[in-house]
Structure 1
Amino acid sequence: MLGHRQLRPNEYWQLLKRRGWIVLIPALVLPFVGFAISYLVPPQYVSQTTVLIDQQKVPDDYVKPVVTADLDNRLATMKEQILSRSRLQPIVERLNLYPGQSMENRIDNARTNISIKLIHSEIARSGGLPGFTIAFKAGDARTAQIVCGEITSLFINANTLDREQSTQGTTDFLKGQLDDAKRNLDEQDARLAEFQKKYVGKLPGEESPNLNMLTSLNTQLEAATQQLARMQQDKTYAESMLAQQTRDVVPSEAPGYVQSPQQIEMAQLQSQETELSTRYTADYPDLIAVRRKIGELRAKMAASPTSPTHTAATPSVRESVGVQQLRAQVRAATQGIEAKRQEQAQIQNAVRMYQDRIQSSPLVEAQFKQITRDYQTAQQFYDDLLTKVNHSKMAADLEKRQQGEQFKLLDEPTLPDSPSTPKRPLFAGAGLVLGLLIGFATAALLEFRDQSINTEADIWETMNLPTLATISWVGDKVPDSIEKKGLKGLFQRSPKDAIAPSEARG
Structure 2
Amino acid sequence: MEEETRNLSDYLAILKRRKWQVIVTAYLLLMIVVVVALTLPAVYRSEATILIKEQDIPEELVRSTITGYADRSIQVISQRVMTRTGLTTIIEKYNLYEEARKSLTMEDVITNMRKNISLEMVSADVIDPRNGRPQQATIAFKLAFNSNDPKLAQGVSHELVSLFLAENTRERREQAAEVTAFFSEAAQNLSHQIVELEAKLARFKQEHQGQLPEHAQLNLQLMERTEQQLRDTTRRMQILDERIIFLSAELRTIQPHRIVTNSRDLNLEPGERLRLLQSQYISMKSIYSMQHPDLRRLKVELDILKKELGVSENTELLKQQLKERRISLQQGSNKYSANHPDVVKLKNTIASLEFSIRKAETSFVAQMEKPENPAYIAVQTQLNAVRTERTGAKIEQEEIQQKLREYEGRLLATPEVERIYRNLARDYEGATAQYQEIKTKQRAAQISHELEVGQKAQRFTLLERAVLPINPASPNRQAILFLGFIFSIVSAVGFAALIESLDSSIQGRVGIVRVLHKEPLGVIPYIENHADKKKKRNKVFFIITLFIISIFIVVLSVLV
TM-score (norm 1): 0.73
User: Would the aligned equivalents of 2:256 and 2:376 in 1 still touch at CA under 8 Å?
Assistant: no
Choose the corresponding residue for 1:191, options 195, 200, 212.
Answer: 200
Aligned-pair CA distance for 1:18: 2.2
For each residue in 1:389-424, what CA deviation from the matched residue of structure 2 results, as whole angstroms up to 9, or x when unmatched? 222222111111111111000111122121112212
The structure in which a higher percent of residues are helix is 2
Alignment of 1:23-38 (within 5 A): 26=25, 30-31=29-30, 34-38=33-37
Choose the corresponding residue for 2:229, options 220, 230, 234.
Answer: 220
Choose the corresponding residue for 2:183, options 174, 188, 192.
Answer: 174
Structure 1 residue 477 and structure 2 residue 477: aligned?
no
User: 1:454, 1:171 → 2: CA distance?
Assistant: 94
User: Would the aligned equivalents of 2:256 and 2:373 in 1 still touch at CA under 8 Å?
Assistant: no
Alignment of 1:316-465 (within 5 A): 319-320=373-374, 325-452=378-505
**Aligned partner of residue 136 in structure 1, secondary structure:** strand
- Amino acid aligned to 2:255: R
Sequence identity percentage: 23
Q: Which residue of 2 aligns with 1:108?
A: 111
Choose the corresponding residue for 1:121, options 104, 121, 124.
Answer: 124
Inter-CA distance 455–331: structure 2 relative to 1 (3 Å threshold): farther
Q: Which residue of 1 aligns with 2:293?
A: none
User: 1:7, 1:470 → 2: CA distance?
Assistant: 16
Inter-CA distance 17–327: structure 2 relative to 1 (3 Å threshold): farther
Q: Which residue of 1 aligns with 2:247?
A: 238
Aligned-pair CA distance for 1:372: 3.2
Inter-CA distance 414–256: structure 2 relative to 1 (3 Å threshold): closer
Inter-CA distance 334–5: structure 2 relative to 1 (3 Å threshold): farther
Q: Which residue of 1 aligns with 2:307?
A: none
- Amino acid aligned to 1:228: M
Inter-CA distance 256–405: structure 2 relative to 1 (3 Å threshold): closer
Aligned-pair CA distance for 1:99: 1.7
User: 1:341, 1:5 → 2: CA distance?
Assistant: 150
**Aligned partner of residue 41 in structure 2, secondary structure:** coil
**Aligned partner of residue 137 in structure 2, secondary structure:** coil
Choose the corresponding residue for 1:305, options 356, 365, 368.
Answer: 365
Inter-CA distance 349–81: structure 2 relative to 1 (3 Å threshold): same
For each residue in 1:171-225, what CA deviation from the matched residue of structure 2 results, as whole angstroms up to 9, or x when unmatched? 2233333333333332232222222221222223433332332222212211111
Inter-CA distance 197–308: structure 2 relative to 1 (3 Å threshold): closer
TM-score (norm 2): 0.66
Aligned-pair CA distance for 1:162: 0.6
Q: Which residue of 2 aligns with 1:247?
A: 255
Q: Which residue of 1 aligns with 2:62?
A: 63
Structure 1 residue 200 and structure 2 residue 209: aligned?
yes
Alignment of 1:250-265 (within 5 A): 250=258, 258=283
Q: Which residue of 1 aligns with 2:271?
A: none
Aligned-pair CA distance for 1:231: 2.2
Structure 1 window deviating more from structure 2 (25-34 vs 350-359): it is 25-34
Inter-CA distance 206–382: structure 2 relative to 1 (3 Å threshold): same
For each residue in 1:264-287, what CA deviation from the matched residue of structure 2 results, as whole angstroms up to 9, or x when unmatched? xxxxxxxxxxxxxxxxxxxxxxxx
**Aligned partner of residue 39 in structure 1, secondary structure:** helix
Aligned-pair CA distance for 1:365: 2.9
User: 2:285, 2:10 → 1: CA distance?
Assistant: 178
User: Would the aligned equivalents of 1:48 and 1:148 in 2 still touch at CA under 8 Å?
Assistant: yes
- Amino acid aligned to 1:305: V
Q: Which residue of 2 aligns with 1:266?
A: none
Aligned-pair CA distance for 1:304: 9.0
Matched residue count: 430
For each residue in 1:344-373, what CA deviation from the matched residue of structure 2 results, as whole angstroms up to 9, or x when unmatched? 111101111111122223332333343334
User: 1:248, 1:304 → 2: CA distance?
Assistant: 17
Inter-CA distance 112–364: structure 2 relative to 1 (3 Å threshold): same
User: 1:458, 1:177 → 2: CA distance?
Assistant: 101
Structure 1 window deviating more from structure 2 (369-378 vs 153-162): it is 369-378
Q: Which residue of 2 aligns with 1:494?
A: none
User: 2:367, 2:163 → 1: CA distance?
Assistant: 126
- Amino acid aligned to 1:235: I
User: Would the aligned equivalents of 2:47 and 2:145 in 1 still touch at CA under 8 Å?
Assistant: yes
- Amino acid aligned to 1:19: L
Q: Which residue of 2 aligns with 1:98?
A: 97
Inter-CA distance 306–98: structure 2 relative to 1 (3 Å threshold): closer
Aligned-pair CA distance for 1:478: 4.5
Structure ID, larger Rg: 2
Inter-CA distance 303–454: structure 2 relative to 1 (3 Å threshold): farther
User: 1:6, 1:213 → 2: CA distance?
Assistant: 130
Structure 1 window deviating more from structure 2 (50-59 vs 379-388): it is 379-388
User: 2:210, 2:491 → 1: CA distance?
Assistant: 109
User: 1:400, 1:92 → 2: CA distance?
Assistant: 31
Inter-CA distance 16–475: structure 2 relative to 1 (3 Å threshold): closer
**Aligned partner of residue 176 in structure 2, secondary structure:** helix
